[in-house]
Amino acid sequence: MKKAIVIGSGAGGATAARELQGKFEVTILEAGAAFQPFSFSLDTVAKLRKTGLLFDEREIQLLFPSMRIKKTSDKMVLVFSRCHGGTTTIATGNALRMDSDLQKMGINLDAEFAELYQELPINTDHKNHWKKSTRQLFEIFQQLGLHPIPTPKMGEYQRCQHCGHCVLGCPSGVKWDSRRFLNMAIEQGAEMVSDCTVEKILIEDDHAWGVQARMGFQKKIFKADLIILAAGGLSTPVILQNSNVPCESRLFVDPVLCVAAEWPKAGQNREIPMPFVAQQDHYILSPYFDHLSFFFNKNWRFPAEDILSLMIKLADTNTGSISRKKLNKYLTETDKSHLREATEICTEILERMGVKKENIFLGTINAGHPGGMLPLQAANAQNLHPDVLPENLYVADATLFPKSLGNPPILTIMALAKRISRVCQNN
């Protein structure tokens, strides 16, 4: 049986491994180890804040080793996870189909999405458990003509304990993450190699014959007939460039800015994050308690249960890059203009809730949906294989997206990875 290497175990990697195992002998290379949920209570973090010891977002890695932070050249905070399941473990479990740009290029993923709707526990059951403040916000969104919809979630939310730890590691296993697909692949015979940081793909005569990785202080070579690179929008481009495969300076990151206010007993810190979403032209709006701002932003000085917050998730300009030595990403004037517009809408929403404008404060701009540095073209619609790649090397993550979704990408990455896996089986 031919051998396949899948690099990464997040949305794209776990999906590809599950699809390919059995048709190939699959080895999954993951830079991280088993996921460890955040083990501290918010009360403990609040006490730490008062000591002044929490002053840099990168410190979160000391409290929560599975979460990682990078900072861009202009200090924007990028959040990701290095562990089994990748960043799906700290995502909010949203199941939004966001493939319109791919459709415009002739890429039809209807069959793959249909399968995912059958395989995943996608529902809006959480709506029955919304807190009063969430219901009030939903009504105000409707009054303003923002057309909010309950967010489809991946998970068994009828079992939700309302602990508020969705993005810190669901302790009761309610939220779906890609470890479920990963475990299925392993049960079917796939091999999992943890703490294995891939450095480059080994290529000769337009053929990728292996992978060079670092395990501790040792380098190791893994040979394969097929390689699927799904290390995420920050790592995949670096691995490609280390392998002399050029990428484009088109990095997007979906920046997030939260607009918040004190609201006694709001309880949003124990609400499901992003319970509903309103799609706008260049961003989405959704209720969201921003733990990163709560931990490190001095404006968020109130008790967690007394903060009411609205998220702006921006579809940013495709301008940026990452290499082994440098992460270059900034907000353009267009991006800043869209953020100002969205902030004004959020301010009006909070004012309609009864908040005084002078009491509204902003969160820390952070981001967690990187991609775009090897975008698919219309010419790749059938094989989903950018021309610069060797014939047996495929990418299966957000690196392929032609532009920022400004939306949760997990479901769309999984559908794309399913299709790519099928292309590989047929070649």
What span, in angstroms and rounded, lies between the C-alpha atoms of 123 and 407? Answer: 18
Domain membership flag for residue 270: yes
Q: Residue 40: CB partners within 8 Å, gap ≥ 6?
A: 63
Predicted pLDDT at 59: 87
Domain membership flag for residue 90: no
Per-residue pLDDT band for 45 (boundaries 50, 70, 90) equals confident
Domain membership flag for residue 132: yes
What span, in angstroms and rounded, lies between the C-alpha atoms of 400 and 357? Answer: 41
Residues 221 and 307 in one domain: no
Give the residue from 348, 367, 386 where a domain finishes: 367
Residues 163 and 19 in one domain: no
Residues 227 and 189 in one domain: yes
What span, in angstroms and rounded, lies between the C-alpha atoms of 70 and 345? Answer: 29
User: Region 170-190: what's the mean pLDDT?
Assistant: 96
- Give the type of residue at 338: H
User: Region 383-410: what's the mean pLDDT?
Assistant: 97
Residues 360 and 265 in one domain: yes
Q: Is the pLDDT of residue 180 over 80?
A: yes
Predicted pLDDT at 51: 81
Question: Which residue bears the tokens 């799906």?
Answer: 88
Q: Is the pLDDT of residue 309 over 80?
A: yes
DSSP result, 44-77? HHHHHHHHT---SGGGHHHH-TTEEEEE-TT--E
The CATH number linked to 208 is 3.50.50.60
Q: Is the pLDDT of residue 42 over 80?
A: no
120: left (phi over 0), alpha (psi -120 to 50) or beta: beta
Give the residue from 324, 350, 367 where a domain finishes: 367
Q: Kindly report the number of other CB atoms within 10 A of residue 170's CB atom.
A: 21
Coil, helix or strand for 233? Answer: coil
Coil, helix or strand for 424? Answer: helix
Residues 160 and 192 in one domain: no
Per-residue pLDDT band for 11 (boundaries 50, 70, 90) equals very high
Tokens at residue 358, please?
A: 């002078």
Residues 229 and 277 in one domain: no
Domain membership flag for residue 337: yes
Per-residue pLDDT band for 213 (boundaries 50, 70, 90) equals very high
User: Region 178-186: what's the mean pLDDT?
Assistant: 98
Residues 379 and 357 in one domain: no
pLDDT digits over 117-159, tens only? 999 999 999 998 899 999 999 999 999 999 999 999 999 998 9
Domain membership flag for residue 269: yes
- Find the domain containing 151 and state its range: 124-170+255-367
Helices (H), 236-380: 236-242, 291-296, 333-353
Residues 315 and 274 in one domain: yes
Predicted pLDDT at 74: 79
Domain membership flag for residue 356: yes
Q: Residue 51: CB partners within 8 Å, gap ≥ 6?
A: none
What span, in angstroms and rounded, lies between the C-alpha atoms of 104 and 128? Answer: 36
> Please, are residues 260 and 290 in contact by the beta-carbon 8 Å criterion?
yes
Give the residue from 344, 367, 390 where a domain finishes: 367
Predicted pLDDT at 75: 83
Predicted pLDDT at 349: 98
Nearest to 410 by CA among 11, 8, 13: 11
Residues 271 and 162 in one domain: yes
- Give the type of residue at 39: S
Domain membership flag for residue 285: yes
Predicted pLDDT at 48: 81
Residues 292 and 144 in one domain: yes
State what percent of residues in the chain have pLDDT above 90: 88
Distances (CA, A) of 166 to 93, 137, 153, 367, 408: 8, 20, 11, 17, 15
Backbone angles phi, psi at 340, to 5 degrees: -65, -45
Distances (CA, A) of 368 to 13, 92, 267: 17, 11, 24
The greatest distance separating any two alpha carbons of the chain, rounded to the nearest whole angstrom, comes to 66
Predicted pLDDT at 312: 98
Helices (H), 168-317: 179-187, 236-242, 291-296
User: Region 388-401: what's the mean pLDDT?
Assistant: 98
Residues 157 and 262 in one domain: yes
Per-residue pLDDT band for 47 (boundaries 50, 70, 90) equals confident
Residues 377 and 341 in one domain: no
What span, in angstroms and rounded, lies between the C-alpha atoms of 13 and 227? Answer: 11
Domain membership flag for residue 259: yes
What span, in angstroms and rounded, lies between the C-alpha atoms of 60 and 70? Answer: 11
Angle, alpha carbons 183-67-125 (nearest 5°) = 60
* Domain count within the chain: 2
